[in-house]
Amino acid sequence: MTLDTFLSPFVNECITSCFQVDNKEPVVLQATRKEFEGSHTLVVFPFTKFSKKSPEETGKIIGEYLINHTSIIANYNVIKGFLNLTLKDNYWQEFLETVVSDSNFGRQPDNGLTVMVEYSSPNTNKPLHLGHLRNNFLGYAVAQILEANGYAVIKANLINDRGIHICKSMLAYTKYGNNETPESANMKGDHLVGKYYVIFDKALKEKASELRELGWNDEEIEKNNPLLQEAQDLLRRWEANDPEVLSLWNKMNSWVYAGFEKTYKRMGVKFDKYYYESDTYLLGKGIVEEGVAKGVFYHKEDNSVWIDLAPEGLDQKLVLRADGTSVYITQDMGTADLKYQEFGIDKSVYVVGNEQDYHFVVLKNIMKRLDRVYAEGIYHLSYGMVDLPSGKMKSREGTVVDADDLMQEVVNEVAAYSKESGKLDDFEENDLNNLFETLGIGALKYYLLKVDPKKRMLFNPQESIDLQGNTGPYIQYTHARIKSVLRKAEQLNLDFLTNSNSVLLEDSEKDVIVWLSNFESTIKQAADEYAPSLVANYVYELAKLFNTFYNELSVLKETDTSKMKLRLQLCLATAKVIKSAMLLLGIDVPERM
């Protein structure tokens, strides 16, 4: 239980008995500023309307009441309407022992709800890039955070394995591929297929300039470029189940999947359920019929089907073309139903870039109009694009930061940094490589996750990812450092899990313990707001507070046994919380580094 929920009823009781007014609002405490005595602060201004007294007097009355009616408050002071509470050291000492003994500290029990988090959702015509890294890390972290808050979570990946873009790669491969394979080219399959996507675009542009010289205007070129028509023809043949086309499609997709699998493995993300658009792209037509029957959708003169979302403040939206074929939203309607039918999900999170904000508002509103029970649980986790200094990344033009390359670069950078410092010389080769991997991928994940997802971010490939300060490795280092102390304590056979004597807490000790007590509410809030960045900021602050303590006070050289025990508990608790917070972000922490 958090301190807010513990103290709320007492504060409200106090208001009832002292001022004869009922306050139903739960009370929110905030952290006390460093320059004042105390750890938690209650802002008393809102209560002055009940007390009809000055803020100072009101604060005193509440402070007095809390001292007399709870057993955990040691002292209080009131400054300018801020009631600062000092809790008894006993309280913190007991709290610390619960953190040490509770293996689920910070997590919530099962809440009986199921949520699906759909993320990654790649196209199979090109390898993953930096933007996908943000998407994957976010999706995975949000899934972990929801799970920690009691949800049953299904991680889903909807693979966009069909469409004109794949046909472009296929066409270029047919024309210029010479039966190249990932083995013969010594390339990951996704990179090989991506190579032909770029080749197609180049050929298309060359063709366009040829045609321009022949006197075609831009519009004609756009419409009638023979290469584009060939690709469209390929798509038609695919839809008609042409065996030759299907076989090439299967072959190239299998290359891509083999490549993706490696990339996902290195990223450390997983999926419980794969959906393939080639299976789902015809879904949703039944829903269109249903919608027409219910009068939610209507036909236009050309027989296309629409919904009018004007009452919701939106526009009219096409849901089925005049020729009866689906559009994007038709498929998404179908897939939404499918997900619900298969898993009975209560919530559905879509991790998709912010250029699709409008699409998801429309989707949610349509499903509401169709009276879907799950409609209210649809949530679009919208995130900003990652830009390069040169502007937007474009796969077609090959101006992307490739995910595989970037991960390798960061790992290399970690290795170089580490060799310079020379302190890992006693590591085995294999362990060393694993460590570099943990640190490098950790640095990258933390870098992308510490920022609010809504914000677009700029990534400069020329400037390497930092390894000091507010970074993954800083937090990982703090963990390794604590583990080192704990290993030494183990060698000395120190038994510190319980401590019978009360200890007077030093400021730097108390700061860490107080911050540990915020872990639970942080994960709760992170789940409510789908915001891994809150967890990242929390764990960074924890590491900082711990490092301050570490530099100020010695653990193993402390001669007072009770104090030493307490500090060892503090170490153990902090290591546990760092590890568990980092795992929520999908980041591993090393035992040594």
Q: Do residues 113 and 346 lie in contact, with contact meaning Cβ atoms separated by under 8 Å?
A: yes
Hunting for tokens 């911050």 — which residue is that?
515
- Write out the binding residues for RNA, residues 469-508 only, by CB under 7 A: 469-471, 473-474, 477, 480-481, 483-485, 488
- Write out the binding residues for RNA, residues 122-141 only, by CB under 7 A: 123
Report the residue from 22, 35, 219, 425 that binds RNA according to the rule CB under 7 A: 35
391: number of Cβ within 10 Å: 8
Nearest distance from residue 317's CB to RNA, in Å?
Answer: 5
Instruction: List the alpha helices (DSSP H) in 87-153.
Output: 89-101, 130-148
Report the residue from 6, 45, 176, 298 that binds RNA according to the rule CB under 7 A: 45
Quick note: the x/- pattern for RNA over 267-286, rule CB under 7 A, is ----------x---------
Quick note: the x/- pattern for RNA over 220-259, rule CB under 7 A, is ----------------------------------------
Q: Do residues 156 and 273 lie in contact, with contact meaning Cβ atoms separated by under 8 Å?
A: yes
Nearest Cα residue to 478 out of 346, 592, 353: 592
Report the residue from 198, 246, 296, 424 that binds RNA according to the rule CB under 7 A: 424
Question: What does the angle CA 389 – CA 391 – CA 397 come to, to the nearest 5 degrees?
Answer: 120
Q: Tell me, by CB under 7 A, how many residues bind RNA.
A: 88
Nearest distance from residue 84's CB to RNA, in Å?
Answer: 5
Q: Considering beta carbons, is residue 269 or 393 the nearer one to RNA?
A: 393
Q: What's CA 293's distance to the chain center, in Å?
A: 40
Q: What's CA 256's distance to the chain center, in Å?
A: 25
Nearest distance from residue 396's CB to RNA, in Å?
Answer: 12
Residue 377: both structure tokens together: 């649980």
Report the residue from 128, 256, 534, 572 that binds RNA according to the rule CB under 7 A: 534
- Write out the binding residues for RNA, residues 364-393 only, by CB under 7 A: 384-385, 392
Cα torsion 339, 340, 344, 347 to 10°: value is: 90
HEC sequence for 268-334? CCCCCEEEEHHHHCCCCHHHHHHHHHHCCEEECCCCCEEEECHHHCCCEEEEECCCCCECHHHHHHH
For RNA, which stretch binds (CB under 7 A), given 196-204, 238-246, 368-376, 419-427?
419-427
Contacts of 31 by beta carbon, 8 Å cutoff, 6+ apart: 39, 40, 41, 514
The answer to whether 450 contacts RNA (rule: CB under 7 A) is: yes
Nearest distance from residue 392's CB to RNA, in Å?
Answer: 6
Phi, psi of 489 (to 5 degrees): -65, -35
CA dihedral (50, 53, 56, 58) positive or negative: negative
The answer to whether 354 contacts RNA (rule: CB under 7 A) is: yes
Instruction: List the alpha helices (DSSP H) in 450-531.
Output: 472-491, 507-516, 519-528
For RNA, which stretch binds (CB under 7 A), given 58-66, 95-103, 176-184, 317-325?
317-325
Report the residue from 365, 499, 533, 580 that binds RNA according to the rule CB under 7 A: 533
For RNA, which stretch binds (CB under 7 A), given 184-192, 212-220, 241-249, 327-335?
327-335
Nearest distance from residue 251's CB to RNA, in Å?
Answer: 22
Nearest distance from residue 11's CB to RNA, in Å?
Answer: 15
Report the residue from 18, 67, 152, 318 that binds RNA according to the rule CB under 7 A: 318
The answer to whether 359 contacts RNA (rule: CB under 7 A) is: yes
DSSP for 209-232 reads HHHHHTT--HHHHHHH-HHHHHHH
For RNA, which stretch binds (CB under 7 A), given 78-86, 143-151, 177-185, 397-405?
78-86
Report the residue from 357, 397, 507, 528 that binds RNA according to the rule CB under 7 A: 357
Q: Considering beta carbons, is residue 483 or 510 the nearer one to RNA?
A: 483
Judged by phi (left if over 0) then psi (alpha if -120 to 50, else beta), residue 116 lies in beta
- Write out the binding residues for RNA, residues 86-125 only, by CB under 7 A: 123
User: How deeply is 552 buried, as exposed, middle or buried, from its count of CB atoms within 10 A (0-12, 13-18, 19+)?
Assistant: exposed
The answer to whether 517 contacts RNA (rule: CB under 7 A) is: no
What's the CA gap between 549 and 451, in Å, rounded?
27
Nearest distance from residue 114's CB to RNA, in Å?
Answer: 25
- Write out the binding residues for RNA, residues 161-200 only, by CB under 7 A: 163-164
